[in-house]
Amino acid sequence: MENIAVGIIGMGDMGRIVNACDRPDKFQTLQKEYENEKGINVLPNGHLVSRASDWIIYSVEAELIERVVAEYGPSTKVGAIVGGQTSCKAPELAAFDKYLPSDVEIVSCHSLHGPAVDPTGQPLVIIQHRASQKSVDLVVQILSCLNSKMVFLSGEKHDRITADTQAVTHAAFLSMGTAWAANQQFPWEINRYVGGIENVKINITLRIYANKWHVYAGLAILNPAAREQIRQYAQSVTELYKLMLGGHREEFAHRIKSAGAAVFSNETLNHNLLLGDEVLDRFSLSKRPKERQPNNHLSLLAIVDCWWKLGIVPYDHMICSTPLFRIWLGVTEYLFRNETLLEEVINTAIEDNTFRSDDLEFTFAARAWSECVSFGNFEAYRNRFENIQQFFAPRFPEAVRLGNEMIKEIMLKTKT
C-alpha cells in the first residue's frame, strides 16, 4: 500500500488528490496553486500521470471521456488499474475496453454525492469490470479513507439505477427552475411558495443551477435508460395537468391514489424517512411570514405517477441513492402518507387557479428538457441551463449555504 501511486486525470471539483493533471494549458497555474500541498504532484498532462501511477482515475466531463481515454489510455503503466468517476458508466467502460492495453485492469467507481457533501456514509459504487479480486481489494483499501458506504455493482446495473434516482430527479428540479425563470419569479419572494416542501423545491433547484451544466447533461444524455424515465416524467406532468385543467376530479384522484398505492405499499412504510413542513420550515430564503398556502404539488404527483407507470420501486434504489434523491423521495412520501394533505392537494389541483400559470410553464419545461435529452443535444442543454443559471445567479451564495445546511440536517434525520 505504501508504494501505490494514485493518479487523477481532471482536477475539477471532484478530482484533486495525488499525481494529478488537468488540461496541459492549466499546468503552470495548477502547479503554483499546489506547490505547498504535500502529496499532490501536479503533472503537465495525462500521459505523465498514466505512466507514473498504479491506479488512475479519469475525472473529466462525461462527454469528453472517450477522447481523453483515447489520448492517455495507451500511456498507462503496465499492470496498473484504471477507473473513472463519470456519472454514467456505459461510455466510460466502453472507452476503457477500446483504448486501454490488455495488461491493464479496470475497476471503476462513482461517489453518489457532490463535492461539498461529507462523503461519510454516502454510497460509493465500485465496479469490477475487468479485474482480479486483488485489484478490487486494493481500490477498496485506497478509497476506504472516504468512509463511504461501498456498493458493488456492474456498470449496467449502476446506469439503470442512476437513471431512476438521479436523472429524473434532476429533470424535475430543472423544470421548476425553468418555470420560475419563464415567469420571471424568484419563488422565495412570493407568498404562495412558503412552507417546508417549498423550501426543498427552491433550495435544491438553486443548488442544481449553481453547479456545472455538464454534470447534469452528461448523466442524462449519455444514459439511454434516463431518456425513457425523463420522457415518462414529462408525460405524467402533461397528463395530470390536463386532468386538472379539465376539472376531472374523479379520474385525477383515482390516478393519484392508484399511483400512491403502488409506490408506497405497506412493506415500504416501516422506516423513518418522513420529511415534513415542520422539519424543513427553517431553511427558507424568504423573509416573509410563514403562512402556508395550499399547492397542488404537480411536480411531486408526477414523480409518483412516473414511478408507477414505469414499475419503479424507489426504495429498491436506496443503496445507490444521492442526497437529492433521498430528499425528493422524503417529501414525496410525506405528501402521500398524509391523507389530509393529499386530499388538500387534490382539491387545490381541481379548484384553485392560483398555480395554473406556474404549472403551465412547468409542463412546457418538463417536455422541453425531455426533448433536449432525447435529441442528445449537449449545446442546447448548455444554453437552456446557463440562461436559467444567469437568472438565479445573484442568490447562489445564500442558497448554496442554506442548501448545505438543509442537506446536513436531513442526512442526520434520515440516517438508517
Ligand X SMILES: O=C(O)C(=O)Cc1ccc(O)cc1
Ligand Y SMILES: NC(=O)C1=CN([C@@H]2O[C@H](COP(=O)(O)OP(=O)(O)OC[C@H]3O[C@@H](n4cnc5c(N)ncnc54)[C@H](OP(=O)(O)O)[C@@H]3O)[C@@H](O)[C@H]2O)C=CC1
Asked whether 225 and 163 are in contact (CB, 8 A), the reply is: yes
Rounded Cα–Cα distance for residues 399 and 214 (Å): 21
Nearer to ligand Y, 122 or 296 (CB): 122
Residue with cell 483499501: 141
**Of how many residues is the chain composed?**
416
Cα–Cα separations (whole angstroms), residue 111 to 36, 98, 158, 207, 344: 27, 24, 12, 18, 39
- For 395, which DSSP code? G
- Give yes or no for residue 247 binding ligand Y (CB under 6 A): no
- Give yes or no for residue 301 binding ligand X (CB under 6 A): no
Size of the site for ligand X (CB under 6 A): 11
Rounded Cα–Cα distance for residues 52 and 74 (Å): 13
- One of 21, 40, 43, 112 touching ligand X (CB under 6 A): 112
User: Closest separation between CB of residue 401 and ligand X, Å?
Assistant: 17
Stretch that binds ligand Y, among 13-21, 272-280, 310-318, 369-377 (CB under 6 A): 13-21
Among positions 146-175, residues that touch ligand Y (CB under 6 A) are none
User: b vs e for 200-238, b when ≥16 Cβ sit within 10 Å of the residue's Cβ?
Assistant: bbbbbbbbbbbbebbbbbbbbbbbebbbbbbbbbbbbbb
Nearer to ligand X, 112 or 373 (CB): 112
- One of 22, 159, 198, 361 touching ligand Y (CB under 6 A): 22
- Give yes or no for residue 224 binding ligand Y (CB under 6 A): no
Nearer to ligand X, 136 or 219 (CB): 219
- One of 21, 221, 324, 373 touching ligand X (CB under 6 A): 324
Rounded Cα–Cα distance for residues 231 and 131 (Å): 36
- Give yes or no for residue 127 binding ligand Y (CB under 6 A): no
- Give yes or no for residue 314 binding ligand X (CB under 6 A): no
- One of 114, 196, 276, 403 touching ligand X (CB under 6 A): 114
The grid coordinates listed for 103 are: 495488461
- Give yes or no for residue 86 binding ligand Y (CB under 6 A): yes
User: Closest separation between CB of residue 114 and ligand X, Å?
Assistant: 4
- Give yes or no for residue 399 binding ligand X (CB under 6 A): no
| Residue nearest to ligand Y according to CB distances in the complex | 12
- Indicate the Cα dihedral angle 84, 86, 90, 95, nearest 10°: -50
- Give yes or no for residue 60 binding ligand Y (CB under 6 A): yes
Of 8, 2, 7, 12, residue with least CA distance to 218: 12
Rounded Cα–Cα distance for residues 391 and 407 (Å): 24
**3-state SS class at 388:** helix
Residue 166: contacted member of ligand Y, ligand X, none (CB under 5 to 8 Å, by partner type):
ligand X
Asked whether 166 and 172 are in contact (CB, 8 A), the reply is: no
**In sequence order, which ranges of 107-164 are alpha helices (DSSP H)?**
133-143, 155-162
- Give yes or no for residue 215 binding ligand X (CB under 6 A): yes
Among positions 117-176, residues that touch ligand X (CB under 6 A) are 166
- Give yes or no for residue 221 binding ligand X (CB under 6 A): no
Nearer to ligand Y, 85 or 284 (CB): 85
Residue 324: contacted member of ligand X, ligand Y, none (CB under 5 to 8 Å, by partner type):
ligand X
- Using CB under 6 A, list all residues that contact ligand X: 87, 112-114, 166, 208, 215, 219, 322-324
- Using CB under 6 A, list all residues that contact ligand Y: 9-15, 21-23, 46, 59-62, 64, 68, 85-87, 111, 114-115, 212, 215, 218
